[in-house]
Amino acid sequence: MTGPTDRPTSGSTSDPTDDRTSSRAAEEQDQRSILSSSAVMAAGTIVSRFSGYARTLLLAAALGNLLHADVFNIANTIPNMLYILLAGGVFNAVLVPQLVRAAKDDADRGDAYTNRVVTLAALFLGAVTVLLVVAAPWVMDLYVDPDVPADARESVVDLARWCLPQVFFYGMFVLVGQILNARGRFGPMMWAPIANNVISVLVLGLYLLLYGTAKGAELTAGFDADQELVLGLGSTLGIVAQLAILVPYLRAAGFRYRPRFDFRGTGLGHTLRLGVWTVLFVIVNQVAYTVVVRLASQGTAGGGSEATGYSVYSAAFLIVMVPHSVITVSLATAILPTLSRRAAAADLPGLARSLSSTLRTALAVVLPFAALLPVLAPELARVISLGAAAATYENYIGTLAAFAPGLVLFTVHYLMLRGFYALEQTRTVFYVQCGVGVTNVLAALVLVHATDDAGTAPALATAYAAAYGVGAALSYAVLRRRLGGLRTPTLVRFAVRMAIAVGVSTAAAWGAALLLDVLGDESSYAVAVLRALVVVLVDVAVFLAAARVLRLTEVTSVVETLTRRLPLPRGR
């Protein structure tokens, strides 16, 4: 039955066209703001990734990509994994919405709440770090296959003792960075890791100067005590430096740290209750990754020159995640405070609009890169292989190609989780991640045991894609229902046009790669670099042209944001 209020009056008639135009204008304004903030972070990430690439190059040159390299890489990776397991989920996902709310609602702009968080985190991380160093042998038993030779296992434990203090400094770095992000200072956290990479490059340069590149039997052995000191202590100093760089920015952001121990009745209980589900989420994720690391160590345990293990897996993952780190993380970091404010105001349509637009922007970069990976894998493998890794560069090719679909699926899943975190629905995130973790473990176990040592890392990359296929489907479907829509028709239209543009550009890149075969053997380093540059340039040029023809505004917005920040010469 229609009542009086259902009949429009002459003064309240709304034109649907005007509503759509207003919504579209709001979406474009939101996206410009997000792109502007993320551009600062992306610039820092690009420089960080280039310095990180130099570190990866030197690491492979010094240690190769077989068991010798796995010993150090596993010992140096575990602290970051343990930090994420113990506190990273809470720091990364739960704290930003809580810090934003405290800054908005508290009379002191959230200073007291933030001081309590910093004090509690420092006490917790300090105690846990001491325990981990003492328990290093038992901790490393979780990650290293029992078939790894005794000398290599001993080196893993010794290196871990030098590296495990990183847990404290990783935690405090992320906490300080999130405080800055909540106060609108996005750049420092993205630029600070450059200091870590610079120190790592200097340490590896010193290592090469003192010990040279690994050769022969060294490629499948452990390290002596002096080598462990240089690599382990040098790695930890890099993490200390990236935290130290952030500290002065706190004062510039208007925050003064004063220890606070009055934790009761101050809102921390709500944060910790939200954090319980995030901790469970992280536990599921890290259990899955523990299985991956252990299976990867199994790949190189036999010492074969064609074996692929953790060093191949992690190096390929680092290369593949460049667009995610530069674009997706920057966008997600910039958008999370906005999503949190809209969730607090119960503006679900606005939240959905911002998230959907950000997803399309991220995919505008990630999709063409992922499609190009299988074409570019041989050249990339050669480019990242110098010194001790040059003779086994082909070990990277299959893993690089296998990661391509996983990159796209992970991007979708990652951004959907920002929506859940803004809504404080961490329990839902945990349930979704259970599906991801179980899929990853089962797929990894089945695929690794169905292949040989040479296929270990590609099998793990395929399992990664399967896991995030499940994660992307679940997280998108559930969040779409919670928000009452995620502009799926718009996303589908975008995906169809992107598929055309990406298909054309990838075909052009593949054709260019075939034509470049006449330049010489791709195993030549110089030829590999040249081929990679030409293939990338062809792909980018054709993709941008196709995007303009197909009116992919998500692509042109990214290009315009980048070109506005380039130091182009001005006319007279």
* Secondary structure string (H, E, C) spanning 240-288: HHHHHHHHHHHHHCCCCCCCCCCCCCCCHHHHHHHHHHHHHHHHHHHHH
- Other C-beta atoms closer than 10 Å to the C-beta of 1 total 3
Q: Work out the number of other CB atoms within 10 angstroms of the CB of residue 2.
A: 6
Measured CA to CA, the distance from residue 468 to residue 437 in angstroms comes to 9
Q: Alpha carbon of 275 to those of 91, 183, 205, 263, 281: distances in Å?
A: 9, 21, 41, 16, 9
Q: Is residue 24 part of a domain?
A: no
292 inside domain: yes
DSSP per position, 386-447? -GGGGGGGGGGHHHHHHTHHHHHHHHHHHHHHHHHHHTT-HHHHHHHHHHHHHHHHHHHHHH
Q: What is the pLDDT along the chain (572 residues), one digit of tens a residue?
A: 334 333 333 344 445 444 455 555 555 555 555 555 555 555 656 676 777 778 888 999 999 988 999 999 999 988 888 877 666 555 655 565 666 666 666 666 667 777 888 888 889 889 989 999 999 999 999 899 888 888 899 999 999 999 999 999 988 888 888 788 777 776 677 778 888 888 999 999 999 999 999 888 888 888 999 999 999 999 999 999 999 998 888 888 777 778 877 666 555 555 556 567 767 777 888 889 899 999 998 888 877 778 898 999 999 998 888 887 777 777 777 777 778 788 888 888 888 888 888 899 889 989 999 999 999 999 899 888 888 888 888 999 999 999 999 999 999 999 999 888 888 787 888 899 899 999 999 999 999 999 998 999 999 999 999 999 999 999 999 999 999 889 999 999 999 999 999 999 999 999 998 888 776 555 577 788 888 899 999 999 999 999 999 988 888 777 766 565 444 444 43
Instruction: Assign 295 to helix, strand or coil.
Output: helix
pTM of the complete model: 0.78
Q: Is 82 contained in some domain? A: yes
Tell me, yes or no, whether 293 lies in a domain: yes
Tell me, yes or no, whether 23 lies in a domain.
no
DSSP state of 546: H
* Residue 13 covered by a domain: no
Residue pLDDT, tens place only, 130-145 = 999 999 999 999 899 8
> If phi over 0 gives left and psi between -120 and 50 gives alpha, with beta otherwise, what is residue 309?
beta
CA atoms within 13 A on the CB side of 356: 27
Residue 136: inside a domain, yes or no? yes
Establish if 407 belongs to a structural domain: yes
Q: Structural domain of residue 109, as residue ranges?
A: 32-563
CB 35 within 8 A of CB 361: yes
Tracing tokens 């010794």 back to the chain, one arrives at 158
How many domains would you assign to the chain? Answer: 1
